[in-house]
């Protein structure tokens, strides 16, 4: 019934990327998948000593500036803060995870042996929680079915991260067949990575060069203070850094599912460069699309984080419209085509 979704190139790549865990600081599996895609299409991917992945695509020379687009590889999750005598794990958030969003479900705990073990998130007996409304991490534990000694032998310790188990991540396709809804735990930001990868594939296939040298970057650790992009942007010093990430539908914003892709003009950390916003507008006009605009004081992106440490000179952020940020995130099928088209148009039209 939803064949057109399953045949979409970006969707297929995304589905592959979310099949492996990639919590902040443990992005090695998704990094390898990303490099395999890139190298498979005839590019030469690189990985810096921090673990960030990048691919340099030479421009046609219409501008001598350097542009970097960045979609972070890491995802939010849980981090082990203690091990109880019964082998259950005390946990806290990794990045912006919220206990009521993850709910009770199986998770994969990443071990020091570079594999995973399964556990189940638990709030304890539900019968005792009637009337409660304040939910904190202190109420959450992970049941492992192992003793503390067995956990130690398997390489689980304070600091081990965990994410929802792969079979419970989706994607789930549902709703109106004309424009279905797609849900998954969570897009942020392997969907951005999938968009960058499908653009790279199209550039190669179509023999198109950007107007200037371009770095497609896949940084680590965005969800914890952008600690991947900061050293990367300082070393590469792009003139323009553009974040490729979700455009969340914040409460009380006018953003709608079908109103267009989302340009962030201001976030918690920075105002985005006016010239870059105008470039987004030109790219949208070229393909007959409308844009939506977002200002927020509750979120940041790799671009505004990198600007804090002085890496880029100008920044921008263009987002695929999505709801349910930091949970089972949702977007419309039409956004897959729309965002790809806009991003491709940006590469063709942008002369910084």
User: What gap in Å lies between CA 135 and CA 98, rounded to an integer?
Assistant: 9
Please answer whether residues 289 and 260 qualify as being in contact, where contact means their C-beta atoms are separated by less than 8 angstroms: yes
Q: Please report, as ranges, the residues that interact with other proteins according to CB under 8 A.
A: 86, 96, 98-106, 117-130, 132-135, 143-147, 150, 165, 167-168, 170, 172, 174-176, 179-181, 183, 185, 248-251, 296, 298-299, 323-328, 330, 332
**What is the DSSP annotation of 36-94?**
HHHHHTT--EEE-TT--EEEEE---SS---EEEEE----B-EEEEEEE-TTS-EEEEEE
Nearer to other proteins, 163 or 284 (CB): 163
ω into 216 cis (within 30 of 0):
no
Q: Nearest approach, Cβ of 346 to other proteins (angstroms)?
A: 25
Nearer to other proteins, 165 or 279 (CB): 165
Q: Nearest approach, Cβ of 50 to other proteins (angstroms)?
A: 25
Axis crossing angle, helix 190-206 with helix 9-17, rounded to the nearest 10:
130
Please answer whether residues 316 and 242 qualify as being in contact, where contact means their C-beta atoms are separated by less than 8 angstroms: yes
Q: Nearest approach, Cβ of 248 to other proteins (angstroms)?
A: 5
Which residue blocks in the chain are alpha helix, DSSP H?
A: 3-6, 9-17, 28-40, 99-102, 148-154, 190-206, 229-236, 274-286, 302-308, 333-349
Nearer to other proteins, 22 or 211 (CB): 22
Q: Nearest approach, Cβ of 126 to other proteins (angstroms)?
A: 3
Q: Nearest approach, Cβ of 132 to other proteins (angstroms)?
A: 8
Q: Nearest approach, Cβ of 192 to other proteins (angstroms)?
A: 16
Nearer to other proteins, 118 or 209 (CB): 118
Nearer to other proteins, 133 or 207 (CB): 133
User: What gap in Å lies between CA 69 and CA 276, rounded to an integer?
Assistant: 12
Nearer to other proteins, 27 or 323 (CB): 323
Nearer to other proteins, 77 or 99 (CB): 99
Q: Nearest approach, Cβ of 229 to other proteins (angstroms)?
A: 18
Please say whether the dihedral angle defined by the alpha carbons of residues 98, 104, 106 and 112, taken in this order, is positive or negative.
positive
Q: What value does the CA radius of gyration of the chain take, rounded to a whole number of Å?
A: 20
Residues facing residue 232 across a β-bridge: none
């Amino acid at each position: 019934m939803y064949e057109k979704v399953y045949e979409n190139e970006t969707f297929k790549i995304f589905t592959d990327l979310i099949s492996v865990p990639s919590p902040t600081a443990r992005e090695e599996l998704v990094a390898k998948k990303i490099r395999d895609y890139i190298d498979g299409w005839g590019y030469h991917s690189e990985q810096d000593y921090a673990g960030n992945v990048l691919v340099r695509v030479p421009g046609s020379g219409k501008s001598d500036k350097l542009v970097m687009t960045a979609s972070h590889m890491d995802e939010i999750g849980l981090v082990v803060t203690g091990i109880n005598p019964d082998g259950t794990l005390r946990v806290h958030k990794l990045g912006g995870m919220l206990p009521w969003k993850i709910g009770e479900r199986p998770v994969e705990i990443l071990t020091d042996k570079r594999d995973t073990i399964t556990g189940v998130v638990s709030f304890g007996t539900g019968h005792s929680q009637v009337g409660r409304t304040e939910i904190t991490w202190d109420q959450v534990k992970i049941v492992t079915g192992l003793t503390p000694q067995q956990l130690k032998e398997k390489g689980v310790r304070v600091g081990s991260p965990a994410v929802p188990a792969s079979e419970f991540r989706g994607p789930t396709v549902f709703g109106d067949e004309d424009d279905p809804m797609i849900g998954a735990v969570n897009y942020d930001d392997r969907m951005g990575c999938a968009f960058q990868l499908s653009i790279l594939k199209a550039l190669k296939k179509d023999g198109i060069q950007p107007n200037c040298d371009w770095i497609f970057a896949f940084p680590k650790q965005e969800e914890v203070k952008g600690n991947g992009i900061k050293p990367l942007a300082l070393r590469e010093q792009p003139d323009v850094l553009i974040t490729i990430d979700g455009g969340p539908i914040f409460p009380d914003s006018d953003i709608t599912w079908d109103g267009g892709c989302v340009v962030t003009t201001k976030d918690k950390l920075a105002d985005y460069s006016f010239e870059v916003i105008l470039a987004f507008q030109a790219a949208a006009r070229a393909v007959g699309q409308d844009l939506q605009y977002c200002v927020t004081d509750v979120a940041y992106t790799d671009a505004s984080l990198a600007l804090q440490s002085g890496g880029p000179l100008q920044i921008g952020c263009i987002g695929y419209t999505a709801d349910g940020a930091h949970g089972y995130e949702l977007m419309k099928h039409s956004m897959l085509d729309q965002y790809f088209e806009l991003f491709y148009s940006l590469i063709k039209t942008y002369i910084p």
